[in-house]
Amino acid sequence: MKNLHSKNTFLLIFLFLIPSLLYSQFYTNKQMRKNADEKNAEWLVREGFTLVEDAGDFTTPVSIALLRSPGQSANDVLYIVSELRGSIKARLRNGNVIQIGEDEEISKPRKELPDFQGEMGQTGACLTPDDRTLFTTSVYQNGWGRSNKITRWKSVGNLPWTKIEKVEVFDSPFRGDTAGLAHQIGHCFVDSNYHIWVGTGDGQSWTSSHKKDSTNGKLLRLKSDFSQVESNPFYTGKKTEAGGYIYSMGLRNPFAIAKSEGGEVYVADNGPEIDRLVKASKGMDFPWDNTNPSMTYNNLMTFPKSVGPADMIYVPKNHKLASLRGHLVIAASHITSLLAVPIDDKKGVTGEPWWIVLPTKYEEERRQDFTGLALGEDGILISHIRMRKDGGLLPAPVLKLVPGQISSENMKYSGEQLVEIKGCRSCHIIGGAGGNVAPNLDAIRPRTTEMFKSQDFLKQVEEMASYKEEPDHERWNQIRSKLTDPSQNSKEKLELYISSKLENPKFLNPISGMPNLNLSKTEIESLKEFLVELSEDSVRFQGLEKWEYSVVKQFEQNPRISLVLSLLFGIGFGIYGKRLFYLLKGLVIRLQLKFMKKS
């Protein structure tokens, strides 16, 4: 009896731990640390790496096309970024970002992110190996529906890729298919043979992924002049026929595709609640029948919970990022992270996948998504979209993962990053989130405009003029007098007020409760620019409806829900499993006896 009790106890503990062990492989922060050892770090990074900001002035960046042979002058372009809403921008060697073009003929969503309808528009961007031709992928309005397209661009600026011009729009094989929300055309790359590889979503119709007369749910391969590749498995030679462009089929959302140095093409396919990593085979029809189990066949790896693969790169075995050599690096959008998968063209996945970047805390209402990757000589470039919790978009810099550990004192931060790092939201509401201890900084413009006109403010300035104990008193008197000067416009006053308040929180009130954060001039400038833009009627900060989660979306994006349910199932089975067994056994015996009596 004692042994039976011990076995039951062991069984209960084992069943309790199974779900935890199942999820631990992909939801662990082992060997992770706060980025640059920041106190309020936004990211956890693997030891030996640091995440830094490479370029700003983006809103919805989704893909990065890196020039292989960029010029050496300060104004030469290093890489091109496509944005979800159609803008095409370039990052110069001097760090500046310029807009070089725009695709205005793309579908515009009825609702902006983070609403689900906002997950459509321009997606991929890729350059030919000689850096002479740019391709972008996107969705456009085709009558009452939406169709995918690929656009070819050429450089027409004085310097390469400082200005672009549309050359050709290729949509003939896509016209018969409907592009679904978040199930559209994805990222692309151009190989050494000048063949374009691109994945297309199933258009929210799983049956179309298995049809040879549809481009939906496929991995496509085409020449740079948009003709079919003769060695494609269903080659027809006609640009209007979808079948001739198909390389592999039976996919759901193959946004993330990458080619190894050995020539194999890999696809990280988004599933409903689980994802899969597959090796593309010519003519292969992968199982996909609108169910989770179908995502588990013929795979190199199955993710036990959806991470939302958005893009993927392969790190060659001679790259400077030594610990990532021979790995596929996947940008995951559901948990906003980077995942490394060791891969061998012959052996498949050769070890346990491991996290490179994780958010410091999981956001149930999505705040940001990793969207695109590009492998540079000294690091990995990452595009991501940032969203307010209550709706609206925030500035989204291109990030860079670099080897080595950089201290926070040597990091350069944007204003939005400083808000997180300095803990400003503990007192202020900024971007729709934060505390109510101090004034709402989203409303700083109207509040200060009225304040500068008030008699109380003029009286306050007069009182501070006699406050001789104030350090650098004369300088602050001059600043305060500018704030009362009617010849100064409201924006100039706002900028002066913000920078002064950040440098000296007590410059208008010696008993102000705001602490002095000892900010550098660069940090003050970054915060000022961010707060000024926040106060303007920018589309990035307009309040929108909250993200509406369906039950499926909750399961898909929040691993804790599935984990808790699995734990409860394990506990219940451990406690009542024996009773259930005897109940089923008794039922079987009764059925046997009943059958024997009849016979």
Query: Is it the case that residue 223 has pLDDT exceeding 60?
Result: yes
With a CB cutoff of 8 Å and minimum separation 6, the contacts of 585 are none
Q: How far are the Cα atoms of 99, 126, 189, 267 from residue 195, in angstroms, in the given order?
A: 27, 11, 8, 17
How far apart, in whole angstroms, are the C-alpha atoms of residue 95 and residue 54? Answer: 8
Crossing angle (nearest 10°) for helices 559-598 and 2-24: 130
What's the token pair of residue 142?
A: 């085709």
Q: Which of 362, 321, 316, 355 is nearest to 338 (CA)?
A: 355
**More confident: 336 or 556:** 336
Query: Is it the case that residue 411 has pLDDT exceeding 80?
Result: no
The per-residue pLDDT for range 165-205, each reduced to its tens digit, is 999 999 999 998 999 888 999 999 999 999 999 999 999 89
pLDDT confidence tier of residue 542, bands split at 50, 70 and 90: very low
Least confident of 312-316, 544-548, 590-594: 544-548
pLDDT confidence tier of residue 155, bands split at 50, 70 and 90: very high
In this prediction, residue 527 carries a pLDDT of 87
The per-residue pLDDT for range 260-301, each reduced to its tens digit, is 999 999 999 999 989 999 999 999 999 999 998 899 888 999
Mapped to the 3 state alphabet, what secondary structure does 508-555 carry?
CCCCCCCCCCCCCHHHHHHHHHHHHHHHCCCHHHCCCCCCCCCHHHHH
Query: Is it the case that residue 27 has pLDDT exceeding 90?
Result: no
pLDDT confidence tier of residue 408, bands split at 50, 70 and 90: low
Whether residue 148 contacts residue 200, with contact meaning beta carbons closer than 8 Å, is answered with: yes
With a CB cutoff of 8 Å and minimum separation 6, the contacts of 450 are none
Query: Is it the case that residue 507 has pLDDT exceeding 50?
Result: yes
> Mean pLDDT of all residues in the chain?
84
Q: Report residue 111: phi and psi, to 5°.
A: -130, 145
Averaged pLDDT for residues 571-587: 80
With a CB cutoff of 8 Å and minimum separation 6, the contacts of 113 are 60, 84, 119, 385, 387, 393
The per-residue pLDDT for range 346-405, each reduced to its tens digit, is 999 998 888 999 887 645 444 678 999 999 998 999 999 988 766 678 788 999 999 886
Least confident of 6-15, 69-78, 240-249: 6-15
Averaged pLDDT for residues 15-30: 46
pLDDT confidence tier of residue 553, bands split at 50, 70 and 90: very low
> How many of the other CB atoms lie within 10 Å of CB of 20?
13
Residues forming beta bridges with residue 274, ordered by sequence position: none
How far apart, in whole angstroms, are the C-alpha atoms of residue 338 and residue 30? Answer: 14
* Residue 53: DSSP 8-state: E
* Cis ω for the linkage preceding 287 (within 30 of 0): no
In this prediction, residue 395 carries a pLDDT of 81
Whether residue 384 contacts residue 13, with contact meaning beta carbons closer than 8 Å, is answered with: no
How far apart, in whole angstroms, are the C-alpha atoms of residue 251 and residue 309? Answer: 13
CA–centroid distance for 171 within its chain: 27
Phi and psi based region of residue 203 (left: phi greater than 0; alpha: psi -120 to 50; beta: remaining): left
Query: Is it the case that residue 560 has pLDDT exceeding 50?
Result: no
> How many of the other CB atoms lie within 10 Å of CB of 550?
9
In this prediction, residue 365 carries a pLDDT of 43
